[in-house]
Structure 1
Amino acid sequence: APNVVLAFWRYSQHHPIALRRALTLGAVSIVVSYPAARLAVSLDHHTLRWIFIGFLLWLVGYLGWQLYARRAKGAPAPRILSERWLPLVSVVAGAFSGLFTVGGGTISSPMLVGLFGYRQAAAQGLGLCMIVPSSLVAMGAYTHAGVVDWQLGIPLAIGGLSTISRGVALAQRLPDRKLRGIFLVFLVITVVLMLPKG
């Protein structure tokens, strides 16, 4: 949660987001993040893990196809939807934030790039705008359920806070396609790490 807040602030310095839009998108994500988090803590952890792996595999396939298709066709302009549909992305991001905690950011960025024509870095910043409040609400739901290990979580948060600013600065310098490729590689690594051992 603190990492998401700092990352959003850093991205917003490069890609300013109107306060009204930020509040609207954040409020929409909250509506669905709490019930999704409650559902997640009620599920067996093996079931939740495999649902998450399945989601990541689908996302890897979709993003891989998107990168390949654009390269093969000379990178045609993506389909652009009206900005009035942005709250729908917030609904999806809030649900995935509640269910998988990190899922909101991983699903909102591809939606913003593929459906609304955002550059990857700008999509990541706007995606964070959607999941800052839902991440906090989800953290509250997980804390209430007694599944937050603060002795482990606080050092992890401190470690993340120490590197986020450099990561955001690097994201601003990378070409759009390369940034998407790195995002895809990290998703693949996450899938591998999530697979049961033995």
Structure 2
Amino acid sequence: MTFSTLLNFLPVLDLGAALGFFGGLFGIGGGIIAIPLLVIGFGMEQPLAQGTALVLMVPNLLVGWWRYSQRHPADWRSALAIAAPATLTTWGLAHFATRLDPLLLRGLFAAFLGLLALRLLWPGRAAAAAPGAPLRRGALPLVGVAGGCSMGLLGIGGGLVATPLLSGWLGQRQTVAQSLALALVAPSSVVALATYAGAQRVDWSLGLPLALGGLVTVSAGVGLAHRLPERRLRAAFAWMLAATAGWLALAPLLG
């Protein structure tokens, strides 16, 4: 590696470290932060930004799945019941997303961020099954399809979609819900990355140093999150998502 290459590499590595830290701090995958940054800051088209962000997300999700499974192992039949349809759905929607008009895809991504921000700021009180209810394995493929749609189309959000369904609709404890959500998201993210890469929608020169930097700092972000007030942290993240969604939606019109 030449000195000039190193100078170009280090800022991206630092950016990946920042994304990994804030992803761990807010408890939601770094892709939600990385994709708007790549679109707004680097001028990437939406499909390329989603594919490049997956390079950052995949190793973190695989390591997270492995570590979480050590403490909260999921029944392999349940994991397969949610992961298989999620992976197939991700594969189909990712192929569709790579061919979609970038501005339309950007609008869908902005709408997803806006809805997520509203949910975080004004959580509903929908009826839910009792926590610890027996797991209805027959419903898991539906959850897998819902999470796979988000992962394939937007490159993010599989866990954000699956976890509330598992904990609310199916009445699973939070640890069980998170374990099954990771079983959905981790293999789906690999398939999504492979699909985006096959469609030439990944910037590896940017994605790899982002991933390396993120792996170094994500644990520090998680550690800090446990020491900060949860409500303020949640509100700050929600307002950041709302502002980002607005910018993504309005920038093409203002430009």
Equivalent of residue 130 in structure 1, options 166, 169, 184 = 184
The count of corresponding residues between Structure 1 and Structure 2 is: 188
Equivalent of residue 26 in structure 1, options 57, 61, 83 = 83
Equivalent of residue 65 in structure 1, options 122, 126, 130 = 122
Question: Aligned equivalents of 1:163 and 1:148: distance in 2?
Answer: 23
- Is the 1:22–1:130 contact (alpha carbons within 8 Å) kept by the matching residues of 2? yes
| CA-atom RMSD in angstroms | 3.0
The structure number with the bigger radius of gyration is 2
Give yes or no for the alignment of 1:104 onto 2:158.
yes
- Is the 1:78–1:114 contact (alpha carbons within 8 Å) kept by the matching residues of 2? yes
Identity of aligned residues (%): 39
Q: Which amino acid counterpart does residue 237 of structure 2 have in structure 1?
A: F
Equivalent of residue 136 in structure 2, options 83, 88, 96 = 83
| Local SS of the residue matching 2:122 | helix
Aligned to 1:192: 243
Question: Aligned equivalents of 1:62 and 1:89: distance in 2?
Answer: 18
Deviations 1:43-78 (A, max 9, x none): 1211111111112222332344336x49xxxxxx83
Aligned to 2:10: none
Give the C-alpha shift of residue 166 in structure 1.
4.7
Deviations 1:148-192 (A, max 9, x none): 000111111112222344556677x689x938x745643542343
| Local SS of the residue matching 1:66 | coil
Q: Which amino acid counterpart does residue 22 of structure 1 have in structure 2?
A: A
5 Å-filtered alignment, 1:163-182, equals 163-166=217-220, 178=230, 182=233
Describe the shift of the 1:41–1:54 C-alpha distance in structure 2 as closer, same or farther (beyond 3 A). same
Equivalent of residue 195 in structure 2, options 141, 157, 161 = 141
Give the C-alpha shift of residue 98 in structure 1.
0.6
Aligned to 1:51: 108
Give the C-alpha shift of residue 137 in structure 1.
0.9
Deviations 1:114-138 (A, max 9, x none): 2123454553332121011111111
Question: Aligned equivalents of 1:38 and 1:10: distance in 2?
Answer: 30
Is there any run of 5+ residues in structure 2 with no aligned partner, and where? 1-57
| Local SS of the residue matching 1:27 | helix
Aligned to 1:74: none
Equivalent of residue 3 in structure 1, options 45, 54, 60 = 60
Is there any run of 5+ residues in structure 1 with no aligned partner, and where? 71-76
Describe the shift of the 1:166–1:121 C-alpha distance in structure 2 as closer, same or farther (beyond 3 A). farther
